[in-house]
Structure 1
Amino acid sequence: MQLRQISEKSVVRLCRGEAIIETRTTEIAPGIYRLSTHVTDVAPPAGFTFNQFLILADQPLLFHCGPRSLFPLVSSSVAALVPLDRLRWISFGHIEADECGAMNLWLEAAPHAQVVYSPLGCNISVNDLADRPPRAVAEEEVLDLGGKRVRFIPTPHVPHGWEAQVLYEETTATLFCGDVFTQVGDGEPVTESNIVPTAMAAEDMFGATSITPLTAPTLRKLAELAPALLAIMHGSSFRGDGAGALRSLADEYERRLNVAPVR
């Protein structure tokens, strides 16, 4: 599939200290847009990308809010695609500043939007954190956006966070992976190369994954979806054998669990 890089007018730039950062928008699947901001003061020298994903439909959904500091960039980029007052749903992978730090700024800018999250996530955090009551969705519930269908899949502690979840968009077979497959650097919007080695290199750097006996089975369960596209929050998204990539990642985490020292 040919990627569509959005016109230069929608590449939004902002001064951050002495650096100029920008949010770049790419349509990575029909009606699914990656909004990517590369910063160099995280994981230098390669830096780190913070990616949000907009699903354009009758009821548009934003996955990942981003940190508050990036809200001016990301909201301007979203507004170039759809008026903010048309945004209907907001969700994220787990409770963390880069996932939901700007949540209430989005709720203020998009008066018709509502956070949609698992009952667990709502009960332990979002009911208190969000300025408007969220909508709780059951495990494996499908939200019909009108032209797109999004399934909510809890993944406790994968990669981290009790309330962790991923989203699966059925019409494009896109799995929104959150922090699974995190990579450093500023690669292409979408790659067809093996992303497991770069993901494990980032794991070696950050140690961010909660590696438990349930990590590999959870990833293998996601592989049963046979996603054609993995939309990844940090780093390049992946097009190709998503099931194979998930199983390979599961194998690697299982190996690390089995060789972990006993303390």
Structure 2
Amino acid sequence: MTTRVDEIAEGIYRISTYVAEVAPPAGFVFNQYLLLADEPLLFHTGHRRLFPAVREAVARLMPVERLRWISFGHVEADECGAMNLWLDAAPRAEVAHGATACDVSLNDLADRPPRLLADGETIDLGGKRVRYIDTPHTPHGWEAGLLMEETTGTLLCGDLFTQVGTVEALTESDIVGPAAAAEDLFRFSSLHPEMAATIRRLAPLAPTTLALMHGPAFAGDCAAALEALADDYDRRTADWREQRALAA
């Protein structure tokens, strides 16, 4: 495993670990994003076994104990497996997530009570500001949600646009085609009628950077990429309905 650190927007750092044995032969990257501010935030904690590498990467940028906020897309090992290790390493840190995640999982799983965020609620980090957005079941997990960092226009978009293979830290190349290929490979999304509409609601936020968990950060036409991803899910949902109708 190799872990690298790259600044993908002002004060936002992509901490990326490539794991060759996941999805061979291409391999897979697991990304965390550190937002440097008066109250720093880490989006995704990584697996427990990645904690030493990710902790060392964070320590290159700031004292680990300064970490104030921890968040992630949904409750899953690669997104929050090391949550309590981070809470132990940073005594002032709090987990922040939506109502479903807190009520169903985090009130019990987190070693300190989480901060419950309403849909659309913001946290002023001091120099940066994040807005929480509920995205239930998109791409999976009924507690799924994203953060929009509003001062840089960076959408921390979790498992959306997942792709396989090693990638550059920041790209303007197509991310929708690789995401469709990964969906064909993994079938990881919870197809449902509201999925495309949920993704389309992100486009008017006008992000300038999309921070992928499994892939590069994207600095091209972000609104168009979100619309194209929604179109792909519309097609997949229609295909599923057709297959169900033929099987009936």
TM-score w.r.t. structure 2 length?
A: 0.97
Q: Structure 2 CA distance, aligned partners of 1:48 and 1:124?
A: 29
Partner of 1:17: none
Shift of 1:119: 1.6
Partner of 1:78: 58
Shift of 1:26: 0.1
2:48 to 68, 71, 74: 68
- Is the aligned partner of 1:92 residue 2:72? yes
Q: Structure 1 CA distance, aligned partners of 2:215 and 2:27?
A: 10
- Is the aligned partner of 1:202 residue 2:182? yes
Partner of 1:49: 29
The root-mean-square deviation of aligned C-alpha atoms, in Å, is 0.7
1:226 to 206, 214, 217: 206
Paired amino acid for 2:56: S
Partner of 1:29: 9
- Is the aligned partner of 1:138 residue 2:118? yes
Residues 51 and 64, structure 1, Cα contact 8 Å, conserved in 2: yes
Partner of 1:159: 139
Shift of 1:28: 0.4
1:128 to 88, 100, 108: 108
Q: Structure 2 CA distance, aligned partners of 1:208 and 1:43?
A: 13
Q: How many residues align?
A: 243
Shift of 1:222: 0.5
1:238 to 198, 218, 225: 218
1:112 to 58, 75, 92: 92
Secondary structure of the residue aligned to 1:235 is coil
Deviation string 1:159-214 (CA, Å, 9 cap, x unpaired) is: 00000001000010000000000010011001101110000000011000111110
Paired amino acid for 2:99: P
Q: Structure 2 CA distance, aligned partners of 1:228 and 1:38?
A: 25
Shift of 1:84: 1.1
User: Hey, which of these two has a bigger chunk of helix by percent?
Assistant: 2
1:149 to 129, 140, 155: 129
Residues 226 and 241, structure 1, Cα contact 8 Å, conserved in 2: no
Deviation string 1:199-252 (CA, Å, 9 cap, x unpaired) is: 000001100011111010001000111111000000111102111000000001
Paired amino acid for 1:83: P
- Is the aligned partner of 1:171 residue 2:151? yes
Q: Structure 1 CA distance, aligned partners of 2:173 and 2:215?
A: 13
Matches within 5 A, 1:184-203: 184-203=164-183
Q: Structure 2 CA distance, aligned partners of 1:259 and 1:73?
A: 42
Secondary structure of the residue aligned to 2:182 is helix
